[in-house]
Structure 1
Amino acid sequence: GIRASIDTHSFPSLPIFEIIQKKGNISSRDMFNTFNMGLGLAMVVDSADVGTAMCTLTQLGEHPYLIGTCIEGDPGVDLW
């Protein structure tokens, strides 16, 4: 299987999500499951193509972040 390993500090967190989490006493896992923490879209590309993908997205006016990797394992997501 394939497992996503996501670095939760690799992209900026919007203040509204911090407020919601603190006021609602919501776990980080629940925040990611519910709100995706503001990440609108995730793309998975071969490691050899990361530079090209990041450059192309930037040229198109996007603000891409390298947020993690895909690894072998049970299907799911690890947040760290």
Structure 2
Amino acid sequence: NFGSILAFIFKWTIGWFTKNITQGAATIVLCCLTDERRLHGQYFEGCQESKASKITYNEMAAEALWSLSEDLCGDVELSTR
């Protein structure tokens, strides 16, 4: 069956391009366990401080994303419970 052959190939090749659960969680865990006085809005990738992509510094893109988020989510009020 051609579908099962493709599934087999996909299963064994995708591993070269993805992370397992431990690898995927490592950066998040590192940031959670780091002294909060050392963290000030930096971007982390692969357990290291890194520079975010150019688009993240684009004010027009940020405003467009914020507007879209408001349209999709509606007016959300945070509970102070």
- Return the TM-score normalized by structure 2: 0.22
Q: Indicate the structure (1 or 2) with the bigger Cα radius of gyration.
A: 2
More helix as a share of residues: 2
Larger RCO (alpha carbons 8 Å, 6+ apart): 1
State the TM-score, normalized to the length of structure 1: 0.22
